[in-house]
Amino acid sequence: MTTTPAAIDRSRYLQIIRFFVGVILHVVWWDILLRRIMPRRARRTRPDRLARIARRFREMAVEMGGVMIKTGQFLSSRVDVLPAEITEELAWLQDEVTPETLDSIRQVFGEEFGRPPETIFASFEEKPQAAASLGQTHRAWLLLDGGRQAVIVKVQRPGIVQTVETDLSALRVVARWVMLYRPIRRRADVPALVKEFARTTWEELDYLAEADNAVRFREMFAGDPTVCIPAVYGEFCTRRVLTLEDVEQIKITDLAAIEASGVSCPEVAKRVMDVYLRQIFEEGFFHADPHPGNLFVRPVGEQPVDGTGRPFQLVFVDFGMVGRIPPSIADQLEEIILALALRDPHRLVGACERLGFILPNADLERVEEAVALVLDQFWGTSMEQLTRIDHAQMREFASEFRDLLFELPFQVPQDFIFLGRAIGILSGLATSLDPQFNPWQLVESYGKRLLDDRRRWPGVQRTIHAIGETVRPLLTLPIHLETLLLRANRGDLKLRVAPDRSLERQLRQIELAARRMVWGIVFAVLLVSGTLLYVNEEAALGRIGWGLAGITLLWLIISGVQHQGGRH
């Protein structure tokens, strides 16, 4: 969608900036400085502090709407990785979004159709069915040849272009601040991620594109009776108004209603993951916003007499945010699934490296050792068991791979921001539907399907693979020889020996100790100089000396905390 840049709402912009400045200062003070000085107090107060921050964000998001709501909805779905203090507080954002007034909705219809909704539909409910961050939905009825058809009308919020432009401008600033922290800067290009997020947000504001996405999903699942995609009524769609078949049923997070209908919640969890595996690996086109407001469960048929769960359909709505997976990336994702199913750490690390998840110059053998240990210890455990890992077991792992944890040679490629977001939300949904959900069984079964597909023409595949493995080195040999000779001629040829990790750690510790000693001397000199100047009635210069000494002390504490955090 092409939009004309809107003027920034300065008041809204500053409100967002102030909030994130407060959060950053809170984290620096409590989780970096005081964690070093008073670790017990920092740990003891952490749950209450996180809950207060989440509550403040929720209140701000509800008041402001826009992109802030979308951010909170994503965080509330990460029950698999985020503390309950945050997810429970932000879960209210799934439902508590302030709706627009009916006059505002009529204004949009007037601009898009030249007349109010009451003259377009046979019936139009004034009260919105649901309110989201960028728009809201109303239930209505159309008069068609087959009679009255229930539809859902999605209407864009007035002034949302200015709101989104303001929110994204603020997030760009926050992203630049976050990049000042080296561990984050080394592993992720946060401004690039915000840029990608901005692109998809603008796409969500084009309802004609969303209608096209819905049509494509409906065609994808046309032969699958277990998935329901609403029909699109194109003549009642514009860039700011979307009209779809009303298919909403039981909200996927309403566990009590799902069980009361006779549908098995664990079966719903399995169905969700199966459907997404198909979207990602077979179609290369997936619904990228599977938060609880966009997924429903529709019971069909009667309860089986054998006591098994009642048949149901998985219902999708809201197709504004979609992801596309190029074949090259899909191939490596398949390699990851196969490597997990076969418990092959070498294959898994190789695929992750090709996808860009591992930083250049990383010790791949060491990464493979860590992956092998993780697969050995945690294969077959449920999501609930994974969240209750024994601390002693984690300490043992951290002790054995402390060099790897110190380096942390991993990053999140920009291409995976929305795939990772969708998988994160799905992981949280599956865990809430079935605490005993076992992701390993799903990976294993899907891996077997991939292997079966690859074995349909095993002779041809083996021949092609063998030819490729034989010819590839021969084709690249002249290039390697030329590079080798050029480097030797320039005197750039170097002999690289596998590093002794224990020696590297000792050298690093010696370097750090020397650096601390130098800064400690600087601190002492500044402190004594400031005191002498103050005593000799040079108060202003003395205060400057004390201030510089304080800054030096703060630097010593921060560098020590960063080193301690890296070791642990």
> In terms of C-beta distances under 8 Å and separation of at least 24 residues, what long-range contacts does 398-404 make, across chains too?
398/568, 400/373, 401/366, 401/369, 401/370, 401/373, 402/567, 402/568, 403/366, 403/501, 403/504, 403/505, 404/363, 404/366, 404/367, 404/370
Tell me the C-alpha distance between 336 and 314, whole Å. Answer: 27
The radius of gyration of the chain's CA atoms, rounded to the nearest angstrom, is 28
3-state secondary structure of 259: helix
Number of helices followed by number of strands (H, E) in the chain: 23, 11
Amino acid 224 reads D
Closest CA to 95 of 121, 125, 66, 133: 133
Using an 8 Å Cβ cutoff, are 408 and 467 in contact? no
For residue 143, give the 3-state DSSP assignment.
strand
Q: Given this model, what pLDDT does residue 568 score? A: 45
Q: What is the pLDDT of residue 427?
A: 83
The CB-side HSE value for 92 (13 A sphere, CA atoms) comes to 15
Residue ranges of the domains in the chain?
Answer: 10-98+161-202, 102-160+203-275+286-323, 327-454, 458-490, 505-567
| Residues 22-68: tens digit of each pLDDT | 988 888 888 778 878 888 888 889 889 999 999 999 999 988 888 88
| d(C-alpha 549, C-alpha 104), whole Å | 59
- Only one residue has tokens 């809170």, namely 26
> What was the pLDDT predicted at 476?
41
Contact assessment for residue 60 and residue 95, using Cβ atoms and an 8 Å cutoff:
no
Cβ-count burial of 283 within 10 angstroms (0-12 exposed, 13-18 middle, 19+ buried)?
middle
Q: Is residue 199 packed enough to be buried (19+ CB in 10 Å), middle (13-18) or exposed (0-12)?
A: exposed
pTM: 0.68
Q: Cβ distance 243 to 152 under 8 Å?
A: yes
Cβ-count burial of 196 within 10 angstroms (0-12 exposed, 13-18 middle, 19+ buried)?
A: middle
Q: Rounded distance, CA 56 to CA 52, Å?
A: 6
Instruction: Determine how many CB atoms are found less than 10 A away from the CB of residue 29.
Output: 12
53-56 long-range Cβ contacts below 8 angstroms, 24+ apart:
53/23, 53/26, 53/86, 54/85, 54/86, 54/89, 54/90, 55/89, 56/19
The CA-atom distances, in angstroms, between 556 and each of 520, 545, 551, 561 are 8, 17, 9, 9
Q: For the beta carbon of residue 323, count every other beta carbon within 10 angstroms.
A: 20
| Contact between residue 140 and residue 153 where contact means Cβ atoms under 8 Å apart | yes
What pLDDT, on the 0 to 100 scale, is given for residue 6? 63
Length, in residues, of the chain: 568
20 CA to centre of own chain: 19
243: which strand partners?
153
| Token digits of residue 341 | 């199913």
Buried/exposed 98-124: b ≥16 CB within 10 Å, e otherwise: ebbeeeebbebbeebeeeebeebbeeb
What is the full per-residue pLDDT of the chain (568 aa) written as tens digits? 545 456 789 999 999 999 999 988 888 888 778 878 888 888 889 889 999 999 999 999 988 888 888 778 766 755 555 677 888 888 777 666 788 999 999 999 999 999 999 999 999 999 998 888 899 999 999 998 878 999 999 999 999 999 999 999 999 999 899 888 776 677 667 788 788 778 888 988 999 999 999 999 999 999 999 999 999 999 999 999 999 999 989 999 999 999 999 999 999 999 999 999 899 988 999 998 887 889 999 999 887 767 678 999 999 999 998 988 888 888 888 888 888 888 899 999 999 889 888 888 888 898 899 888 888 877 777 666 666 666 676 677 667 777 776 666 777 676 677 787 788 788 888 888 998 888 777 777 777 777 777 655 444 444 444 434 444 443 444 444 444 454 455 454 444 444 455 555 555 555 555 555 555 565 555 565 555 555 555 555 556 555 665 665 555 555 554 444 444 4
Distance CA 71, CA 134 (A): 12
Q: Which CATH superfamily is domain 102-160+203-275+286-323 in?
A: Phosphorylase Kinase; domain 1 (3.30.200.20)
Alpha helix positions (H), 416-491 = 417-433, 439-454, 458-490
pLDDT at 240: 96
